[in-house]
Amino acid sequence: MGKTPSLNLLKGTKTIEDTVNYVCLKEGEGDHEHESLSAGARFFHEPGFNVYILTKIGAKSSFDINRTKAYLIQMIDNYPCFSQVVVKDKESGSMKWVPSHVNIDDHLVVPEIEQNMDSSDQFIEDYISNLTVSCIDNLKPLWDVHILNTRTSDAQGTCIFRAHHSLGDGLSFMSMLLSLSRKASDPEALPTLPMNMKAHHHTTTATNVISFCMVLWNTFVALMLFVFTTMFLKDTETPMKASPGVEDRRRRIVTRSVSLADIKLVKNAMNATVNDVIVGVIQAGFNRYLKRRYEEINSPVPENILLRAMISYNLRASVNVDASAKNTNENETWGYKVGYILLPFNVKHRSDPLDYVREAKSTMERRKASLEPFATRFFAKSLVNKLFGMKIAGKLNRNVYYNTTFCFSNMPGPKEEICVLGHEVTYLAPSLYGMPSGLMIHVISYVDNVTFVLSADEKTIPDPRRLCDDLQQSLHHIKCSVLAKSCVEN
């Protein structure tokens, strides 16, 4: 098997010193010339929270390097943050974005690859795994692109786009990526998203006094649970819960695609949403995975397991893709506009697989009838930060991830095939590393498929592909139950 090329970006343990330039700013310097980092961006420069967004893109052809460079130059022109470095004053602790010269060749990594290797898929996985214990040189803007032109089972070429999370949230990067993309069927047209015209807000409208009081009560309960989680409320210690130091350990990022039609079949039969079905599938998959892990250590599965996901929730008024958008204060898409939801996952065994979806639907409906993401954002980003400062706020924010079991996000992707960086795409797989969580699951739709992207700490989840199998089999059983019930009724 071909060996993974050595990475000159490897820095060992990821710390704040690896991603920030430290200087002594003169009094008044940068107050007007340079933009200060937002509170959301500052969180990702606190110790133990050095997080990178990593998006894997498969293409139907090998990536042309010159064409890729042309699109990256366009990206820098439209999004100035990709030409800025982070500078921190040693004395005051303030952080600012400072414009910097960008040499595209410093951000584009094209390693020499042995074409006759035993497994290109394993090579790509190992290469990405090496990236998860590295960070980007702090003397240049915190992003890079890796081109791996080797044929795999699902692509002719692979592009890995990596950027520090302080540059923007997940939806910002997805919007940026899509603004540089076009429909494969129409090179002049932007991609179409399932919800391209309005926000993805779920909060139920309070139409009367009773429903209004219910929204307030649900919001209060959710906020109190969030506050307790920042201080002492921990999930059950299961084989899926990470140990301290997880943010600095090597990760495996694996993917598994399933049919969007199968998920919609279940959705329509149960009068649910796509997200309800996905949450139900994950609950069922976790049940299968935990049962096997406990059997391996000859231990019964504990009763009443508390297992929760930390979810970042988009608070934007619009999710439009704008080809001319720039990362400025006037751009609604860019920046940090997210709240938090703590979502419990019921992993008890259910004789009827459809019960997992029913419980997920019930749980999500309670979350919709609240203002939880707005309340948690106010608490985490505004109240605590202003009262106690960034250090305390950062520590409490990390505690939420330490005290829960995993992170979860679900994002609708393009409805038709697209070209990214001038190349027709077979799949999109966004993920993270550096987060203080043992498992992160990102779900994204693309054309007719839904892809589960697992970023797993090797010590916590040593067999992420088996967990992918559990998720796929769980969807199959839920779908078969729907079909069987439909046959009986008919």
369-389 pLDDT per residue, tens: 888 888 888 877 766 666 667
| Residue for token pair 């302080």 | 166
Higher-confidence position of 117 and 78: 78
Residue type at 410 in one-letter notation = N
Mean pLDDT of 323-350: 71
For position 25, what pLDDT does the model report?
46
Q: Measured between alpha carbons, how far is 242 from 434 in angstroms, rounded to an integer?
A: 13
For position 331, what pLDDT does the model report?
52
Contact between 430 and 442 under an 8 Å Cβ cutoff? The reply is yes
Single pTM value for the model: 0.88
Mean pLDDT of 425-448: 93
Q: Which helix (H) or strand (E) holds 426?
A: strand 423-433
Residue type at 120 in one-letter notation = S
Higher-confidence position of 386 and 358: 358
Q: Measured between alpha carbons, how far is 219 from 457 in angstroms, rounded to an integer?
A: 32
Mean pLDDT of 352-356: 94
Q: Helices 464-489 and 354-368: crossing angle, nearest 10°?
A: 100
- Range with the poorest average pLDDT among 180-184, 447-451, 455-459, 477-481: 180-184
Higher-confidence position of 170 and 307: 307
Q: Where are the domains of the chain?
A: 209-244+261-405+462-489
User: Does 481 have pLDDT greater than 60?
Assistant: yes
User: Does 408 have pLDDT greater than 70?
Assistant: yes
Higher-confidence position of 26 and 362: 362
User: Does 404 have pLDDT greater than 80?
Assistant: yes
Contact between 31 and 25 under an 8 Å Cβ cutoff? The reply is no
For the annotated catalytic residues, the residue numbers are 165
User: Does 195 have pLDDT greater than 60?
Assistant: no
Token couple for 332: 């609604």
User: Does 11 have pLDDT greater than 50?
Assistant: no
The band of 292, judged by pLDDT with boundaries at 50, 70 and 90, is very high
Contact between 411 and 431 under an 8 Å Cβ cutoff? The reply is no
For position 276, what pLDDT does the model report?
94
**pLDDT tens, 118-139?**
888 999 999 999 999 998 988 8
The strand pairing partners of 453, in sequence order, are 255, 442
* 138 Cβ neighbours under 8 A, 6+ residues apart: 17, 18, 19, 20, 21, 85, 86
User: Does 323 have pLDDT greater than 60?
Assistant: no
Q: Measured between alpha carbons, how far is 369 from 346 in angstroms, rounded to an integer?
A: 20
Residue type at 253 in one-letter notation = I
Q: What percent of the chain has pLDDT over 70?
A: 83
Q: What percent of the chain has pLDDT over 90?
A: 46
The band of 36, judged by pLDDT with boundaries at 50, 70 and 90, is confident
What's the full length of the chain, in residues? 490
